[in-house]
Amino acid sequence: MTDPRDLLERWLHYVNKGDIEGLLDLYDSEAVLIPTFSPGVLSSTEELREYFDGLGRREELRVTLDDTPIAVQNVWQQVFSVSGTYTWRFKVDGEAMTFGARFSYVIDLSKISPILHHHSSQIPDE
């Protein structure tokens, strides 16, 4: 993988397919996830697995990139910051819901599991 946007596309693919193992393989063993739908800070593979398992059980789960620019910043060598917004969709008590969220990743494309840090938070209603 040479383009940070490829990692983002792969992450979206795994979420939308419900491929928990594929998702976990993207995260470094020491990665930190500040998740969209949980108040905690997750920093172990088991915590990430538990979060994504729970998220994956949501009915009709789907996440899509918004039509806004994705900011890619080269931090150092093959380390990048990637930021933007996406929209989560799933059913809650049988009702389709959407949640806008902003995200940022710190990734090291020289690693097999390139995600070092991932922060995602819901965009507050105005």
Amino acid sitting at position 121: S
The closest alpha carbon to 12, from 92, 88, 71, 69, belongs to: 88
E-assigned strand segments in 2-70: 27-34, 62-65
pLDDT at 31: 98
The span from the CA of 33 to the CA of 16, in Å, is 18
> Token match 């920093």: residue?
43
- Which alpha helices (H) appear in the chain, and where do they start and end? 4-17, 20-26, 45-56
Q: How far apart are CA 118 and CA 124, in angstroms?
A: 19
List of domains in the chain: 4-121 (3.10.450.50)
Residues in the chain: 126
Q: What pLDDT, in 10s, does the model give residues 29-83?
A: 999 999 999 999 999 999 999 999 999 999 999 999 999 999 999 999 999 999 9
- Residue 32 structure tokens: 């930190």
pLDDT at 57: 93
Q: Which pLDDT band holds residue 125 (cuts at 50, 70, 90)? A: confident
Q: Tell me the percentage of the chain whose pLDDT exceeds 90.
A: 96
Q: How far is CA 84 from CA 54, 70, 98, 111, in A?
A: 24, 5, 17, 22
